[in-house]
Amino acid sequence: MIHKTTIKSQIISMASILTASSMFFASAAMGGTAQAAEVPRYDKTIVAFGDLNLDSQQGTKALYARLRNGAESVCSSFEGRDLFFKRLWQTCFDQAVAAAVVQVNRPSLTTLHSRTIGRSKVYR
């Protein structure tokens, strides 16, 4: 049996809105025409976990690590040195992991995620 979940970066819409609004205002200030912003594209990755026993603590921890790695991958477009991008990355990461945990819908995974939140704020 193959189990998998999809991790999406949903914060991209915020970055797209910021970019689109700054381009709109720059264009308007220069007397040009403004075009509608492109529909945001969500990055995503598939995390397979059919090989894990989610009834064991070890299997649950392994899945959680895979979900976190997937979220890091999806949110990598927000990596940067300035505080704005660090905050965007952290928000993207937190939301992606939380959404994946909800999608998997296993009490042991939800419990592990709840215990981990707040303890592991890692800024890139």
* pLDDT for the residue 82: 85
Q: Which residue has the higher pLDDT, 36 or 82?
A: 82
Q: pLDDT > 90: what percent of the chain?
A: 40
Instruction: Specify the 3-state DSSP secondary structure of 47.
Output: strand
21 pLDDT exceeds 50? no
Please name which of 41, 89, 44, 48 lies closest in space to residue 66, comparing C-alpha atoms: 48
Q: Which residues pair with residue 20 across a beta bridge?
A: none
Cβ burial, residue 67 (10 Å; 0-12/13-18/19+): buried
* pLDDT for the residue 22: 37
25 pLDDT exceeds 50? no
How many Cα atoms are found within 13 Å in the side-chain-facing hemisphere of 67? 29
Q: Tokens in use for 14?
A: 């915020």
The pLDDT of 19-29, averaged and rounded, is 38
User: Does residue 45 contact residue 70 with C-beta atoms inside 8 Å?
Assistant: yes
Place of tokens 């928000």: 91
Q: Which residues pair with residue 48 across a beta bridge?
A: 4
CA distances from 101 to 16, 49, 120 (A): 26, 12, 16
pLDDT tens column, 26-81: 333 444 334 444 545 567 889 999 999 999 999 999 999 999 999 999 888 887 78
pTM tops 0.95, yes or no = no
- Expressed in angstroms, the distance from the first to the final Cα of the chain is 36
pLDDT bracket for residue 20 (50, 70, 90): very low
